[in-house]
């Protein structure tokens, strides 16, 4: 077998069955399992970002590609490695940045890849080098973090293997990597325009769901089970870009499925016909193993699950991905778990697993509350130094529909926050800090009495090494009887998920319900409709860090905040000047003749 530490990709296509009814590309990523025998190294990558015509779901359109690939290249590294990505922006009219989702960027906050927060956008024709260390094994991914470029397809997988002498607390014979996403036939620019238009114009639900960048629109792999003359069976011969990746397995083996969701909008549910899944990792952290029939995965989350191929070896089995949390106007994504030596094109004998009802939130909560830290994992501090309440509401500003946090819709400034902190630039962003709570009499169960909001660029300043609680509070939107799911992602840190609850959080009643014994460490956590989620983290990583809803339209409409951690320490950092050559920092560096400082 090939050592994955020397393999730049986790997928290797096999020859399709030429006699099949449809042509299918088979995915194989069985990799060596065991401790590393390699010393830490620097992995040099050269990337060019550009638009390319592609057919992710058999309908051609423009996608954002890296080195002509969609999704972007898979990065495989080992704990302790340094990743160096020399990125050239080949886009004609747009800036670009790449965020390395789940990588904490310890000591390298300028490499986090957040436009207007950690760096300036990389302008057309410019080159920028990201250089950072990966410090923890796990399943991660990367994606664009400028405008709505994730919606345009700028994403890929990042897998970090255990380092030398490290051993993961589970065994498997091989692994597969599944990156899940959603796809529209209208461009991200049209979607972006509609979100800011007056009146609001929504382009609608995605046309398809993608597995490793491949999906099917207006046809079904499982058409024979639909009993519908309007749903055609897919024909893939000569259409490799949208032919499903098939997972080839051998009977009576254990496989690790690495799952990550880079969706722009959709919350998802994944199930494998006839097979239990044992959850063992969440967002790069080991969890107490537990078995499920299906798994909810929200935008920004990642998991590892183990499956055992103990079913009838004469059959193949469906892998199904469906929409949760929104009316399911997008068809399931389907592919096949192919028991070898069966033909890859042999249809499973049973229909695909059925996605739970989109609004069965009890099902979702049951899954989320089962995720607990593995014994021996870091435990949270017993108390907090500071507690911030963040009320998630929908609102109006100058006729535009916005999302707001404590009645402020985030508006990013032209000068990156990190540069403003580094050089103590007054006037680079709003001096007044945002509110740390919301009115005690706010009714989270009904539409806001006053739907108007303000926009702002203020930040929450956190003292270094303090323990911070954040209580995410969900509420009703502008529409009656409506509250949406929001997956929140924190940059630069992991947090402990202390608990979930219904209605409005009250310390008197709910503090006693928080889990301080074995809460899971995550970098993304969901708040359910009309509910709250309690998080705790130690602000131990100096920098300017985004904390936001990972649903792309929601962030674009203002649903986020910025946390400044250890501002004095940031001032002493050596930050590459090319990260900050815009706004007030550009003027200041020009006056001082630029360079590193």
What string of DSSP letters covers 78-95? ETT-EEEEEEEE--SS--
Cis peptide bond N-terminal to 71, omega within 30: yes
What's the whole-number mean pLDDT along residues 320-339?
A: 96
**Closest-CA residue to 71 (of 91, 49, 104, 92):** 49
- Is 437 found in the same domain as 336? no
Rounded CA separation 94/563 (Å): 27
Q: Is residue 167 predicted with pLDDT exceeding 60?
A: yes
Rounded CA separation 359/323 (Å): 10
The pLDDT of residue 165: 85
Q: Is residue 8 predicted with pLDDT exceeding 50?
A: no
The pLDDT of residue 419: 96
Binned at pLDDT 50, 70 and 90, residue 224 comes out as low
Binned at pLDDT 50, 70 and 90, residue 164 comes out as confident
What's the whole-number mean pLDDT along residues 313-322?
A: 97
Which of 345, 370, 395 is the endpoint of a domain? Answer: 370
Distances (CA, A) of 46 to 84, 86, 252, 474: 8, 5, 40, 42
Asked whether residue 459 is domain-assigned, the answer is: yes
Asked whether residue 550 is domain-assigned, the answer is: yes
Asked whether residue 379 is domain-assigned, the answer is: no
Binned at pLDDT 50, 70 and 90, residue 12 comes out as very low
What are the backbone dihedrals phi and psi of residue 179, each rounded to the nearest 5 degrees, phi first? Answer: -100, 120
* Location of structure tokens 């402020």: 408
Rounded CA separation 242/234 (Å): 10
Each residue's pLDDT tens digit, 280-290: 999 999 999 99
Q: In a 3-state reduction of DSSP, which class is residue 239?
A: coil
What is the total count of domains within the chain? Answer: 2
Q: Is residue 314 predicted with pLDDT exceeding 70?
A: yes
Structure tokens at 275: 């097979």
Binned at pLDDT 50, 70 and 90, residue 266 comes out as very high
Rounded CA separation 449/451 (Å): 6
- Is 196 found in the same domain as 130? yes
Asked whether residue 95 is domain-assigned, the answer is: yes
What's the whole-number mean pLDDT along residues 249-258?
A: 98
Q: Is residue 542 predicted with pLDDT exceeding 90?
A: yes
> Pick the residue with more confidence: 28 or 268?
268
* Location of structure tokens 């664009």: 144
**Closest-CA residue to 139 (of 304, 360, 355, 296):** 304
Quote the percentage of the chain above a pLDDT of 70: 91
**CA atoms lying within 13 Å on the CB side of residue 550:** 28
Each residue's pLDDT tens digit, 173-206: 999 999 999 999 999 999 999 999 999 999 999 9
Q: In a 3-state reduction of DSSP, which class is residue 461?
A: strand
**CA atoms lying within 13 Å on the CB side of residue 227:** 1
Rounded CA separation 100/145 (Å): 10
Q: Is residue 35 predicted with pLDDT exceeding 60?
A: no
Mean pLDDT score of the chain: 91
**Closest-CA residue to 393 (of 403, 383, 379):** 403
- Is 342 found in the same domain as 293? yes
Question: Does residue 77 come out as left (phi exceeding 0), alpha (psi in the -120 to 50 range) or beta?
Answer: beta
The pLDDT of residue 585: 85
Asked whether residue 381 is domain-assigned, the answer is: no
Distances (CA, A) of 160 to 94, 114, 308, 377, 417: 30, 21, 23, 18, 29
Per-residue burial over 44-68, b if 16 or more Cβ lie within 10 Å, else e, is ebebebbbeebbbbbbebebbbbee
Asked whether residue 377 is domain-assigned, the answer is: no
Which of 370, 394, 412 is the endpoint of a domain? Answer: 370
- Is 520 found in the same domain as 494? yes
Pair 470, 535: CB distance under 8 Å: yes
Asked whether residue 597 is domain-assigned, the answer is: no
Cα 190 to the chain's mean position, in Å? 22
Rounded CA separation 335/321 (Å): 9
- Is 394 found in the same domain as 360? no
The pLDDT of residue 587: 77
Q: In a 3-state reduction of DSSP, which class is residue 557?
A: coil
Q: Is residue 91 predicted with pLDDT exceeding 70?
A: yes
Quote the percentage of the chain above a pLDDT of 90: 85
Q: Is residue 483 predicted with pLDDT exceeding 60?
A: yes
Each residue's pLDDT tens digit, 388-404: 999 999 999 999 999 99
The pLDDT of residue 11: 33
> Pick the residue with more confidence: 10 or 134?
134
The pLDDT of residue 72: 98
Q: In a 3-state reduction of DSSP, which class is residue 511?
A: helix
Pair 513, 571: CB distance under 8 Å: no
CA torsion sign for 34, 37, 42, 45 is negative
- Is 261 found in the same domain as 202? yes
- Is 302 found in the same domain as 394? no
What's the whole-number mean pLDDT along residues 528-557?
A: 98
- Is 149 found in the same domain as 44? yes
Which of 316, 345, 370 is the endpoint of a domain? Answer: 370
What's the whole-number mean pLDDT along residues 241-245?
A: 92
CA angle 573, 574, 575 (to 5 degrees): 105
Rounded CA separation 470/460 (Å): 12
- Is 160 found in the same domain as 300? yes
> Pick the residue with more confidence: 583 or 413?
413
- Is 493 found in the same domain as 560? yes
Asked whether residue 376 is domain-assigned, the answer is: no
Q: Is residue 226 predicted with pLDDT exceeding 60?
A: no
The pLDDT of residue 593: 56
Range of the domain at 325: 4-370
* Location of structure tokens 């094994």: 137
Q: Is residue 365 predicted with pLDDT exceeding 90?
A: yes
- Is 319 found in the same domain as 179? yes
The pLDDT of residue 235: 80
Pair 82, 42: CB distance under 8 Å: yes
- Is 394 found in the same domain as 362? no
For residue 280, the domain's CATH number is: 2.60.40.420
Structure tokens at 348: 């499973």
The pLDDT of residue 415: 96
**Closest-CA residue to 160 (of 67, 49, 254, 260):** 260
pTM for this one? 0.93
């Amino acid at each position: 077998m090939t050592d994955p530490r020397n393999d730049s990709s986790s997928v290797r296509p096999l020859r399709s069955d030429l006699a099949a009814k449809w042509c299918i590309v088979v995915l194989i990523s069985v990799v060596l399992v065991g401790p590393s025998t390699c010393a830490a190294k620097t992995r040099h990558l050269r990337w060019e970002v550009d638009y390319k015509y592609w057919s992710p779901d058999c309908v051609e359109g423009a996608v954002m590609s890296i080195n002509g690939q969609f999704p972007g290249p898979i990065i495989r590294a080992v704990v302790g490695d340094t990743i160096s990505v020399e990125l050239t922006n080949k886009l004609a009219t747009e800036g670009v940045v790449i965020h390395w989702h789940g990588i904490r960027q310890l000591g390298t906050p300028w490499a986090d890849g957040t436009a207007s927060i950690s760096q300036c956008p990389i302008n057309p024709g410019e080159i920028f080098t990201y250089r950072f260390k990966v410090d923890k094994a796990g399943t991660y991914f990367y994606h664009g973090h400028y405008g709505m470029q994730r919606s345009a397809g700028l994403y890929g997988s990042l897998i970090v293997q255990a380092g030398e002498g490290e051993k993961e607390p589970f065994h498997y014979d091989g692994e597969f990597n599944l990156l899940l996403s959603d796809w529209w036939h209208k461009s991200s620019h049209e979607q972006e325009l509609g979100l800011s238009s007056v009146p609001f114009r929504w382009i609608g639900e995605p046309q398809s769901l993608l597995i490793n960048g491949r999906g099917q629109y207006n046809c079904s792999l499982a058409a024979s089970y639909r009993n519908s003359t309007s749903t055609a069976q897919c024909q893939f011969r000569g259409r490799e870009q949208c032919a499903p990746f098939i997972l080839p397995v051998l009977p009576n083996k254990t496989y690790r499925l690495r799952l990550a969701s880079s969706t722009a909008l959709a919350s998802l549910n994944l199930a494998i016909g006839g097979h239990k899944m044992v959850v063992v990792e969440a967002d790069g952290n080991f969890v107490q193993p537990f078995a499920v029939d299906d798994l909810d995965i929200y935008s920004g989350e990642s998991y590892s699950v183990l499956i055992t191929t103990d079913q009838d070896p004469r059959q193949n089995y469906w892998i199904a991905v469906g929409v949760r949390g929104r009316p399911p106007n997008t068809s399931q994504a389907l592919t096949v778990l192919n028991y070898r030596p069966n033909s890859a094109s042999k249809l499973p004998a049973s229909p695909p697993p059925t996605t739970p009802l989109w609004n069965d939130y009890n099902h979702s909560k049951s899954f989320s509350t089962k995720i607990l830290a593995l014994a021996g994992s870091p435990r949270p501090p017993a108390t907090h130094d500071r507690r911030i309440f963040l009320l998630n509401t929908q609102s109006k500003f100058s006729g535009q529909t916005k999302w707001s946090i404590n009645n402020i819709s985030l508006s990013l400034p032209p000068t990156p926050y990190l540069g403003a902190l580094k050089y103590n630039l007054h006037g680079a962003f709003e001096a007044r800090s945002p509110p740390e709570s919301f009115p005690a009499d706010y009714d989270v169960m009904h539409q806001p009495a006053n739907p108007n909001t303000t926009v702002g660029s203020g930040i929450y300043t956190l003292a270094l090494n303090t323990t911070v609680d954040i209580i995410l509070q969900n509420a009703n939107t502008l529409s009656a009887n409506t509250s949406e799911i929001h997956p929140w992602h924190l940059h630069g840190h992991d947090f402990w998920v202390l608990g979930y609850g219904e209605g409005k959080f009250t310390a008197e009643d709910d503090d006693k319900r928080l889990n301080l014994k074995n809460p899971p460490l995550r970098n993304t956590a969901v708040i359910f409709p009309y509910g709250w989620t309690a998080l705790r983290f130690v602000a131990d990583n100096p920098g300017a860090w985004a904390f936001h809803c990972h649903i792309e339209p929601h962030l674009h409409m203002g649903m986020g905040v910025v946390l400044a951690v250890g501002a004095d320490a940031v001032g002493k950092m050596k930050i590459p000047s090319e990260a900050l050559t815009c706004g007030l920092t550009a003027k200041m560096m020009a006056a001082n003749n630029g360079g590193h400082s």
